[in-house]
Structure 1
């Protein structure tokens, strides 16, 4: 299926691995040009270099910290100049803080909200002048099912994710006709889970992740793949999704512990 992204330009933050890299790869394969950023510019360049591109798709990349408003402004300006505008924005940069509420310091609380909220608002503000000039302007905020289903071991991250979910809904009304949607991820098989498995001392990754999926109530009995999350993101960027805004799409394998 042609998603109608050929000739469009998409910014993807946090693109050096996992879901961000998979989103950049899928966008390029669909014929979109991609402006990719991450804090580690060397790692980003190494990850992007082998990605195949459809005819006409171009790639721009640079190191950028999404919590630095001026750096993000410069990145968006350079990307638009190099690629001829901005039609889509994927706010993917993020991390999780493993700590209960009582263990989380005031500085850690602030850091989580700085990344989850201003790490979205900064790219949005920088890209918005270009998005409003596009006939198909779209924003996808990559969030987590934690936004509705908090985990005690991820207290600050869960709270910040809930705030972002609420903010995304507000922005979808305020910024229309630019569309704003959320993709809420469950457990996705990325490097962090591989590292936790290696630290666990368990002999089988498949058995370990299967037990993890059972413990978390994942109906499909496995972790998701980065490309499965990327498909949901790229679909919401597509002009074929032009009547979808203010929506939240779960990519979590059927986790349903929240009402």
Structure 2
């Protein structure tokens, strides 16, 4: 499938985990891909893939990276807002400074990237934005108050952007992954008192009994970004093994 032939995509947080899987999938389908990341050294550059250093919490950093990527590839058609950071704790466990920091990256970071990319997207006949949300936006998860608040904001922002940009020809959707098998989750598991038991608990709470793969999330992103999904807009697509909509009978 080469449904992204001649299209140019930009993926934030694209050097590892879900972002790297998205960049790989879009390139496999024919896109040229700009990866923006705090550390893009893991990106193997080619004529269709290149990395730029970018901090989505810094407006100047975003503006420079987006401008350079668009100039290098000759425009932008697709933006995938994947960059984000986590936070653990209940409502009173994170400091006000932590709340500001996580919102600055996970929510305001999207505003910065879209603001810088929008002039290019408005010139594209196949403009699409895909935001990476989370099951934490739709289900109450333990010890994830701050993180859940930011991902709830991402889902709401996705729908609002889809409405505002509809007449401009820019589609906006989101993916909502369940707990995914990524390096970030791996780091959380590594510091648990019993990593194997913690992983088993994470797998058991998902109806299909396992963690979501980064490749599965990437495939969903590719669908939402594809010109073939021209009638899909304002959707938050769950990729969670059924956690949001399926009640599993006890095994």
Shift of 1:38: 0.7
Matched, 1:240 2:228: yes
Shift of 1:201: 5.9
Counterpart in 2 of 1:110?
100
What is the alpha-carbon distance in structure 2 between the residues aligned to residue 102 and residue 254 of structure 1? 30
Q: 5+ unaligned residues in a row in structure 1: which ranges? A: none
Counterpart in 1 of 2:121?
131
What is the alpha-carbon distance in structure 2 between the residues aligned to residue 162 and residue 258 of structure 1? 20
Counterpart in 2 of 1:224?
212
**Structure 1 runs (4+) greater than 6 angstroms displaced:** none
Which string of whole-angstrom CA distances, capped at 9 and with x for unpartnered residues, describes residues 56-113 of structure 1? x612211100111121111111111110100000000012101111111111111121
Counterpart in 2 of 1:31?
30
What is the alpha-carbon distance in structure 1 between the residues aligned to residue 188 and residue 146 of structure 2? 20
Matched, 1:69 2:59: yes
* Residue in structure 2 matching 1:168, options 155, 158, 161: 158
Contact 1:168 / 1:182 at 8 angstroms: preserved in 2?
Answer: yes
Q: Which moved more, 1:187-196 or 1:65-74?
A: 187-196
Shift of 1:16: 1.4
* Residue in structure 2 matching 1:45, options 41, 44, 48: 41
Matched, 1:97 2:97: no
Contact 2:59 / 2:112 at 8 angstroms: preserved in 1?
Answer: yes
Counterpart in 2 of 1:250?
238
Counterpart in 2 of 1:213?
203
Shift of 1:152: 3.6
Q: 5+ unaligned residues in a row in structure 2: which ranges? A: none
Q: Which moved more, 1:144-153 or 1:237-246?
A: 144-153
Which string of whole-angstrom CA distances, capped at 9 and with x for unpartnered residues, describes residues 192-221 of structure 1? 232333334648x5x75333222x3x1100
Shift of 1:29: 0.9
Contact 2:207 / 2:246 at 8 angstroms: preserved in 1?
Answer: no
Q: How many pairs were matched up?
A: 245
Shift of 1:257: 7.1
Shift of 1:22: 0.4
**TM-score, structure 1 normalization:** 0.89
**TM-score, structure 2 normalization:** 0.91
SS at match of 1:102: coil
Counterpart in 2 of 1:6?
5
Contact 2:107 / 2:154 at 8 angstroms: preserved in 1?
Answer: yes
